[in-house]
């Protein structure tokens, strides 16, 4: 059996608390002979700054590059409010994204039947929703140059951001989306605004070309990004995989997230380029939430976003599809059986601690083994 190299970077605040629940699951999978992991641990964020004076050490970066997948908790908190800007906790995450070349951000929006009443939409619209937003993460208007504020001769100021995409950048994100769609329900919706943006014209052309040349077995539709936002709150289940640029992806993934309830439920993945020799991709998996200093140290954090991120690593980095299905099924069953941490429990009802929720998932896994 192949041994999978996992680097755990728990980070700060609730990061270590939710990471500990994943470690229990890693141990369980290994114990039951389903998969073998070699797990390293290292520091990131404020924890790394306290120990080494930087948000991530060169050693930890070396470990991250050697790992098959990085599992990242969360970083930051009031304790590090005054550290020098270049060493702020978030710098650790940005360095990882940049040095690992993580250009594809995957944000699933899954609405578990048991939690459908926590959605901002009616149950019948979101029950069993399962969509995946594939957002380009390293290009577009957040990075394009020029990017500046200049003072004009008449004293006014003018701000400019530049939306910039190359054919190669669009091709590689399109391939990720089509590839993922093949493992799901084989449908990609590409969102852009070719009606008013040149980058949208190119986006649509390139996605169409990649589809025709390599993925004609996958259904492709083009949708204007503003219409996509409307459709997401009107009838979200029409979508499976949505692929879009950095800016539209930022907004559409937050819209989709709120269809599903709590921040404590949302996993994510960021993928890099495929190594042609091994077929492997650099990858980092992390919950969408931050370090939640308001509840840190109280075992109140919901570990399901982190556990869901681990499930994504099983699926997308390790090719352990059955194990991923098992773990996601265990989450569904635990919720169906009433397991709730405080963030997803109805007001006035009893809720589970972080560790109790981890144990509830373990029990469901054992039933499925």
Q: Does 353 belong to an annotated binding site?
A: no
What is the contact mask toward Mg ion in residues 246 to 285, using x (rule: CB under 5 A)? ----x---x-------------------------------
* Number of other CB atoms surrounding residue 341 within 10 Å: 23
Binding-site member from 16, 77, 139, 140 for ligand NAI (CB under 6 A): 77
CB of 354 vs ligand NAI, minimal distance in Å: 8
Q: Which does 261 bind (CB under 5 to 8 A by kind): ligand NAI, Mg ion, none?
A: none
Q: Which stretch binds ligand NAI (CB under 6 A): 210-218, 223-231, 242-250, 283-291?
A: 283-291
Annotated active-site residue in 142, 161, 280, 359: 142
Q: Is 270 annotated as a binding residue?
A: no
269 is in an annotated binding site: no
Please state, as a whole number, how many other Cβ atoms lie within 10 Å of the Cβ of residue 40: 15
Is residue 245 a contact residue for Mg ion (CB under 5 A)?
Answer: no
**Residue 63 marked ligand-binding:** no
The verdict on 291 binding ligand NAI (CB under 6 A) reads yes
Q: Are 249 and 133 in contact (CB under 8 A)?
A: yes
Instruction: Tell me if 133 sits within 8 A of 107, measured CB to CB.
Output: yes
Residue 250 near which of Mg ion, ligand NAI, none (CB within 5-8 Å, type-dependent): Mg ion
Is residue 128 annotated as a catalytic residue, yes or no?
no
20 is in an annotated binding site: no
Report how far residue 272's alpha carbon sits from residue 176's, in angstroms, rounded to the nearest whole number: 10
Instruction: Determine the interface stretch with ligand NAI among 73-81, 139-147, 242-250, 328-336 (rule: CB under 6 A).
Output: 73-81
User: Which of residues 45 and 200 has its CB atom nearest to ligand NAI in the complex?
Assistant: 45
For residue 105, the cross-strand partners are 135, 270
Residue 18: phi and psi, rounded to 5, are -75, -30
Burial (Cβ within 10 Å: 0-12, 13-18, ≥19) of residue 319? middle
Residue 135 known to bind ligand? yes
Active site residue 59: no
Give the whole-angstrom CA distance, residue 90 versus residue 52.
15
Instruction: Tell me, yes or no, if 226 is annotated catalytic.
Output: yes
* Cβ neighbourhood burial of 143 (10 Å; 0-12, 13-18, 19+): middle
C-beta of 86 vs 124, nearer to ligand NAI: 86
**Strands 157-162, 36-41: parallel, antiparallel or unpaired by DSSP?**
unpaired
Distance CA 215, CA 217 (A): 5
* Contacts with Mg ion, residue ranges (CB under 5 A): 250, 254
Q: Which residues are catalytic?
A: 142, 193, 226, 250, 254
> What residue numbers does the annotated binding site cover?
77-90, 97, 107, 135, 226, 250, 254, 290-302
């Amino acid at each position: 059996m192949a041994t999978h190299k996992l680097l755990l970077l728990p980070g700060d605040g609730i990061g270590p608390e939710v990471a500990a629940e994943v470690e229990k699951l890693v141990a369980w999978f290994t114990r039951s002979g389903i998969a073998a992991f070699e797990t390293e641990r290292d520091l990131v964020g404020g924890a790394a700054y306290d120990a080494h004076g930087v948000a991530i050490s060169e050693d930890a970066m070396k470990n991250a590059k050697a790992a098959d997948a990085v599992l990242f908790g969360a970083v930051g908190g009031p304790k590090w409010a005054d550290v020098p800007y270049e060493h702020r906790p978030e710098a650790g995450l940005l360095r990882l994204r940049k040095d690992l070349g993580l250009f594809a951000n995957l944000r699933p929006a899954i609405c578990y039947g048991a939690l459908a009443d926590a959605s901002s939409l009616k149950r019948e619209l979101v029950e069993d929703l399962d969509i995946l937003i594939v957002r380009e993460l390293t290009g577009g208007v957040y990075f394009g140059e020029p990017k500046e504020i200049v003072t004009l001769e008449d004293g006014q100021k003018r701000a400019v951001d530049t939306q910039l995409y190359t054919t190669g950048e669009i091709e590689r994100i399109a391939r990720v989306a089509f590839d993922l769609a093949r493992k799901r329900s084989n449908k990609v919706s590409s969102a852009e605004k070719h009606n008013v943006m040149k980058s949208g014209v190119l986006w649509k052309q390139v996605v169409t070309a990649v589809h025709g040349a390599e993925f004609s077995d996958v259904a492709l539709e083009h949708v204007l990004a503003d219409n996509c936002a409307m459709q997401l709150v009107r009838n979200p289940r029409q979508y499976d995989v949505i692929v879009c640029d950095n800016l539209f992806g930022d907004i559409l993934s937050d819209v989709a997230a709120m269809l599903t309830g709590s921040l404590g439920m949302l996993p994510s993945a960021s993928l890099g380029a495929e190594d042609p020799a091994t077929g492997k991709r650099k990858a980092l998996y992390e919950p969408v939430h931050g370090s939640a200093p308001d509840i840190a140290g109280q075992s109140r954090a919901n570990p399901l976003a982190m556990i869901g991120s681990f499930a994504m690593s099983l699926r997308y980095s390790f090719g352990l599809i059955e194990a991923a299905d098992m773990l996601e099924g265990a989450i569904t069953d635990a919720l169906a059986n009433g397991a709730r941490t405080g963030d997803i429990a109805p007001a006035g009802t009893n809720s589970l601690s972080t560790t109790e929720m981890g144990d509830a998932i373990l029990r469901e896994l054992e039933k499925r083994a």
